Amino acid sequence: TGAHVAVIGGGFGGATAARYLRRGAPDLRVTLIEPAERFYTCPFSNLYLGGLRDWDSIGHGYDGLRAAGVEVIHARAEAVDTAARRLRLAGGAELAWDRLVIAPGIDLRWNALEGYDAAAAEIAPHAWKAGPQTQLLRRQMEAMEDGGTFVMVIPGGAYRCPPGPYERAGMVAHYLKTRKPRSKILLLDAKDRFSKQPLFMQGWQALYGDMIEWVGLDDDGQVVRVDAARRAVETAFGTIHRADVLNVIPPQMAGGIAADAGLTDASGWVPVDPATFAARQAEGVHVVGDAALASPMPKSGFCANAQGKVAAAAILADLAGQAPPEASFANTCYSMIAPDYAISVAGVYRVEGGAVAEVAGGTSPLEADAGFRAAEARHAAGWYAAISADIWG
């Protein structure tokens, strides 16, 4: 038809949409805009911290997408004009589009925790976007003395990967138990409960004894101030905790280009029609992945992948003058607690009355033997290989 679809962001959501647009319409012109030549996944970055995976194994290039006929431009999109249907790249080049998919992931809310800004993150890494931050955190773990304290600050509200901090705790514990067994992990949480909590707590206790201490909101777990230079944090009630390694996961919002394009609401995220992931605030624009408001779907790579497929199908139908197919979504989040011990949560979602509804779901059983947990660890590896191949392969 001669239509051109541009996709901003070559992560879980954007790269999926680009591939599935081409798969559904082999003649469609699809351009993917992503600054990185190699994308490092947050999924399994905790395994890298724990020493279960090497760095290269979580990186993916874009040759697979090129082979699928996607035109890939390695640049940052700097501005989007939704009325004129144009966008501008860093460097000044402009691109016209007929439909646009935006999947920029998250940005960190600097100074939402007093004192925690981009400079502080160079001392107290968040490691919540996989890349140099993740490698910095790992180097700090390596440099820490046996008997040191690893402090993690965990946000409330909507954030990328609800079970991610707790998986990280187990992976850091695995690393410390095998190399620096007198060390401690302190989790300071702005919530009073968390994803898969009984399963995590059971696993931590069984594998690491009292190495991991979790302090929730009700017990003064909420951090309000960060002093990165001193590696210290202060809680809402004024308690000061000092760390040898300080990992601060701050509150988050949709990747900046979504706000620049005028697509976000007061929450900092993008309201969408869940049947198509079309942005509510502009015509012809779809937003998928962490940037979109799609609760009760979690902000996961699995969901971003499912949403990318739904958006691609809706765009293809629209370009063909048809109604979009009925959307459905699935999610599974595996969390590794040790090399042969994983737990999971799964959900199936549909659109009911214009909103997302969870129609089925559950977690691993609390009562399970070692063989069951080991099988889930194998399933996690299988999931990672399969979704990586589906997106970048």
Q: Is residue 59 at the binding interface for ligand FAD, with CB under 6 A as the rule?
A: no
Closest separation in Å from C-beta 380 to ligand FAD: 7
Q: Is residue 301 at the binding interface for ligand FAD, with CB under 6 A as the rule?
A: yes
Q: Is residue 347 at the binding interface for ligand FAD, with CB under 6 A as the rule?
A: no
The single residue among 105, 221, 274, 324 that binds ligand FAD, judged by CB under 6 A, is 105
Q: Is residue 300 at the binding interface for ligand FAD, with CB under 6 A as the rule?
A: yes
- Cα–Cα dist 261/359, whole Å: 33
Give residues 189-248 in contact with ligand FAD (rule: CB under 6 A): none
Q: Is residue 39 at the binding interface for ligand FAD, with CB under 6 A as the rule?
A: yes
The single residue among 148, 164, 221, 324 that binds ligand FAD, judged by CB under 6 A, is 164
- Cα–Cα dist 305/315, whole Å: 16
**Among the residue ranges 29-37, 189-197, 231-239, 316-324, the one whose residues contact ligand FAD (CB under 6 A):** 29-37
- Cα–Cα dist 163/169, whole Å: 10
> 275: buried, middle or exposed (CB in 10 Å: 19+, 13-18, 0-12)?
middle
Closest separation in Å from C-beta 96 to ligand FAD: 17
Take residue 259 and report the two structure tokens written for it. 């706000």
**Among the residue ranges 3-11, 110-118, 275-283, 357-365, the one whose residues contact ligand FAD (CB under 6 A):** 3-11
- Which of 11, 268 has the CB closer to ligand FAD? 11
93, 96, 102, 103: CA torsion to nearest 10: -50
Closest separation in Å from C-beta 323 to ligand FAD: 26
Window 374-393: contact mask with ligand FAD (x via CB under 6 A): --------------------
- Which of 235, 299 has the CB closer to ligand FAD? 299
Instruction: Report how far apart, in Å, the C-alpha atoms of 362 and of each of 117, 329, 344, 366 are.
Output: 37, 15, 9, 11
Which residue type does 96 have? Answer: A
The single residue among 42, 100, 108, 188 that binds ligand FAD, judged by CB under 6 A, is 42
**Among the residue ranges 34-42, 57-65, 183-191, 232-240, the one whose residues contact ligand FAD (CB under 6 A):** 34-42
- Cα–Cα dist 104/253, whole Å: 10
Cis peptide before 35 (omega within 30 of 0): no
Binding residues (CB under 6 A) for ligand FAD: these are 8-14, 33-36, 39, 42-43, 45-46, 76-77, 103-105, 128, 160-161, 164, 168, 255, 257, 289-291, 299-302, 304, 333-334
